[in-house]
Homo-oligomer: A and B are copies of this chain.
Amino acid sequence: MSNQLFVKMALDSWNSKINDTNRLLDKIADEKFQDEIAPNRNRGIYVLGHLVAVHDRMLPLLNLGDQMYTDMDDVYLSNPDRTKPITHSPGEIRQRWNEVNAKLSERFNSLSDDEWLQKHNAVSAEAFAKEPHRNRLNVLLSRTNHLAYHQGQLAFLKGNTE
């Protein structure tokens, strides 16, 4: 019973953040993504591309499949904004955001409660034996916080009057 309860709590938290972020993104016009989120800070399109790349890499990290869009790491993950040209349109990034999250959702729903407690792929079997909290569910908690962090920033792209 307990495992089921905790998996539900962590998945609810993730889904709630994804839904909040999608509602926010619906309020931001495509052209606003070219703006800096705050003066001299990352552009909106970089932050959304970064979120796509981080979520996409959860597939191999959680042993749930291959990364879908390997062309994004170099631009949105390994390098700061404005060091590599961004060739994706806001529409393309939005589409990838939805596709990556849909794939994650499908894979998440296929996991049993016990499978959520299995190790992720960035920890060795030896380390995991001593540190059983380094499991898939822990990655989910961590990535939910990561999304919340950047959602707080993307909120600045919304109009002030809303």
Q: Determine the distance from Cα of A12 to Cα of B17 in the docked complex, in whole angstroms.
A: 20
Question: Is A25 among interface residues, defined by CB-CB distance under 8 A?
Answer: no
Question: Is A27 among interface residues, defined by CB-CB distance under 8 A?
Answer: no
Contact (Cβ within 8 A) A132 B5: yes
Chain B residues within 8 Å of A12, by CB: 133
Question: Is A79 among interface residues, defined by CB-CB distance under 8 A?
Answer: no
Q: Which secondary structure characterizes the binding site on chain A?
A: helix
> Quick one: CB contact mask for A133-162 with B, threshold 8 Å, 1 for yes?
100011001101110111111011000100
The complex is assembled from copies of this chain, and their number is 2
Question: Is A9 among interface residues, defined by CB-CB distance under 8 A?
Answer: yes
Question: Is A37 among interface residues, defined by CB-CB distance under 8 A?
Answer: yes
Question: Is A38 among interface residues, defined by CB-CB distance under 8 A?
Answer: yes
Contact (Cβ within 8 A) B38 A156: yes
Instruction: Write the nearest CB–CB distance from A22 to chain B, whole angstroms.
Output: 15
Instruction: Write the nearest CB–CB distance from A113 to chain B, whole angstroms.
Output: 9
Known contacts: A38-B37, A153-B153. The answer to whether A145 contacts B148 by CB under 8 A is yes
A interface, CB within 8 angstroms of B: 2-3, 5-6, 8-10, 12-13, 17, 37-41, 117, 132-133, 137-138, 141-142, 144-146, 148-153, 155-156, 160
29 A-B contact pairs sorted by A residue (CB < 8 Å): A2-B2, A2-B6, A2-B117, A5-B132, A5-B133, A6-B6, A6-B137, A9-B137, A9-B138, A9-B141, A10-B141, A13-B142, A17-B145, A37-B38, A38-B38, A38-B39, A39-B39, A40-B160, A41-B156, A41-B160, A141-B144, A145-B145, A146-B148, A148-B149, A149-B152, A151-B152, A152-B152, A152-B153, A153-B155
